[in-house]
Structure 1
Amino acid sequence: MMRPQFSSDPRELLGKCALVTGGTKGAGAAIARKLAAAGASVIVSARTMPTEAMATEVILADLSTAAGVETLVTRLSQQGGSVDILVHNLGGSSAPGGGFSVLTDAHWQEAFGLNLLPAVRLDRALVPTMAARRRGVVLHISSIQRRLPLPDATTAYAAAKAALTTYSKALSKEMGPQGVRVLSVAPGWIYTSAADAMVQEIAARRDIRPEAARQTILDALGGIPIGRPAWPEEVAELVGFLVSDRAASLHGTEYIIDGGTIATI
């Protein structure tokens, strides 16, 4: 698969401060690079320091806990800066396969603690300042699994992402009249380094070529009409547009980027 390349106007987000959670890997890192290339001052949060140097500032915090969110908010306040763009990219699932019956309370709590509550807590801390200035953009990264859950292993993850989308819509109704735009993006399969590692593992385990291993995943998803997953940079392009002034009238809506995986309107 050919990785796409995009250009950016380095003045589009000049003077804006952006915070991207989970911004050191995959789509989060691509989003952080995109916003920085568009002129924003970008801060990313992560649980561990990335192995590769980043052009953006990294604040270490475990946002799956209330204490971690407080750590991040404290660091931001110490720097005296206010956030103009808040991208909630943090999320994921480590639940075992086997369907709903193997999911314990701990699995459910972990899913909501990683995919919903960090956004709720951070918004509660940072959005009031946006409202006081009557400007700002909040963007939640959801998932098409909120509509197409994979019951073998991601029931709790899908439910948490559905809750995130619903929460995002409710927040948009409250904050729109106060000058803050709120949106969500629902990606399908994104070809991150973790996705590639999964493809390579399947290929090695089944003694097949990586192309065939990718096809097994496509088949499990019910097919992707364009024939491939999205690249992180493509998700970042959508996010970069949505948080810019070019999208000033877009609010309270979820945008799907899945190559046509969801077959219905």
Structure 2
Amino acid sequence: MESNHNQYQDLAGKTALVTGGTKGIGKAIADKLSQAGARVIITARQQPEETNLAHHFIEADLTQPQQVDQLAQAIHETFGGLDILIDNIGGVTAPGGGFSSLTDQDWEQELQFNLLATIRLDRALLPRILEKKSGVIIHISSVAGVKPVWYHNLAYAVSKAGLNAYSKALSNELAPKGIRVLTVSPGATNTPLMQGLVQNFAATSGLSAEEAFQRMAAQAGGIPMGRMAEPEEVASLVHFLVSPAASYLTGANYLIDGGTVPVV
């Protein structure tokens, strides 16, 4: 059943960019914003296998500064700017095993993918957004940024913690200028990336996929709800945050983790 927000097309007339929008959480967000009436642009490093795309696709590797500039130019020329920016790209690229398993290259790659690509894209697109004196930026972070698991995601967690700090600082700078900046931090979510991590852990540990997931969840402190999130659940939160209903929200980090982080 569609929410009332979708029924009323509360994003009609808005243009949104969702990075990493061809699969997983990014695809779910792109679909949700489109259902709410937004014109949606998606990016990824490779052309998606799906040929009948519902959104406007621009190929771009956001770890490459020149491609970021080209993306920004294409958006400005074709769409005249943005109202909503969802910085969603990211993922675990470095090996597990703790500090001794990580090389300088591992650290640099993780920071490029999960932090610097977002900063670079914001810098390229913000001047036009500021001209409108309104807009919303959502940074998709991770529970790992506030609750790292050293064995599985040390470098990733550090990069996401950096993203959280950057997002908070940017929100303070842009709030007086009419731009809202928020962070969404999913926990374990049923995406191809997460499925791959579970399968790899299962293969190296001699466990079934379900046993591997339960052990990974336990190492992260457990998930009181006992399951992963679905990408559509994360997308619903993002839709609310970019909608007019959330017009007084900025600077916060919203955990969507099934209760994993044990804080009040």
TM value normalised by structure 2: 0.92
Task: Assess if the C-alpha contact under 8 Å between 1:65 and 1:113 holds in 2.
Answer: no
SS of alignment partner, residue 173 of structure 2: helix
Q: Can you give the 5+ residue segments of structure 2 that lack an aligned partner in the other structure?
A: none
How far the C-alpha of 1:199 sits from its partner, in A, is: 4.2
Q: Which has the higher helix share?
A: 2
Are the aligned partners of 2:217 and 2:223 in contact in 1 as well (CA < 8 Å)? yes
Q: Which moved more, 1:49-58 or 1:237-246?
A: 49-58
Q: What 5-or-longer segments of structure 1 have no aligned partner?
A: none
DSSP 3-state at the match of 1:251: coil
The corresponding residue for 1:73 is: 72
Alpha-carbon deviation of 1:213?
3.8
Write out aligned runs for 1:148-159 (5 A).
148-159=147-158
- Cα deviation 1:26-54 (Å, max 9, x = unaligned): 00000000000100000011001111232
Change (3 A) 1:201 1:91: closer
For structure 1, which segment, 144-153 or 86-95, has the greater mean C-alpha deviation from structure 2 after superposition? 144-153
Q: Distance in 1 between matches of 2:230 and 2:112?
A: 27
Q: Output the amino acid matched with 1:165.
A: N
Cα offset for 1:198?
4.4
Change beyond 3 A, Cα 1:117–1:207: closer
Farther off after superposition, 233-242 or 220-229: 220-229
Matching residue of 1:129:
128
Matches within 5 A, 1:71-150: 71-150=70-149
1:29 aligns with 2:27: yes
Residue 20 of structure 1: which of 13, 18, 24 is its match? 18
- Letter matched to residue 145 of structure 2: R
Is contact 1:95–1:153 with CA below 8 Å preserved after alignment?
Answer: no
Aligned residues: 261
Change (3 A) 1:138 1:148: same
Q: Aligned residues: percent identity?
A: 48
Q: What is the CA–CA distance in structure 1 between the aligned matches of 2:163 and 2:190, rounded to whole Å?
A: 22
- Which residue of structure 2 lines up, in the alignment, with residue 163 of structure 1? 162
Q: Distance in 1 between matches of 2:122 and 2:90?
A: 16
What letter matches 2:94 in structure 1?
A
Residues in 2 aligned to 1:198 and 1:237: alpha-carbon distance in whole angstroms: 24
The separation in 2 between residues aligned to 1:42 and 1:179, in whole angstroms, is: 21
Counterpart of 1:58 in 2: which secondary structure? Answer: strand
- Displacement of 1:210 in angstroms is 4.4
Q: Which deviates the most, 192-201 or 177-186?
A: 192-201
Give the CA deviation at 1:156: 1.5
The superposition leaves residues 227-265 of structure 1 with CA deviations (integer Å, 9 ceiling, x where unpaired) of 111110000000000000000000111100000100122
SS class of match (2:151): coil
- The question of 1:187 aligning with 2:186 is answered yes
Is the counterpart of residue 63 in structure 1 residue 65 in structure 2? no
Residues 184-210 of structure 1: CA distance to partner in whole angstroms, max 9, x if unpaired? Answer: 011111111333344456667777654
**By how many angstroms is 1:181 displaced?**
0.6
CA distance in 2, matches of 1:226, 1:17: 35
The separation in 1 between residues aligned to 2:199 and 2:116, in whole angstroms, is 33
CA distance, structure 2, for counterparts of residue 158 and residue 212 of structure 1: 23
Deviation string 1:155-207 (CA, Å, 9 cap, x unpaired) is 11111111111111111111100011111011111111333344456667777
The question of whether the paired residues in 1 share the 8 Å contact of 2:115 and 2:159 is answered with yes
TM-score (norm 1): 0.92
1-structure distance, mates of 2:146, 2:203 = 31
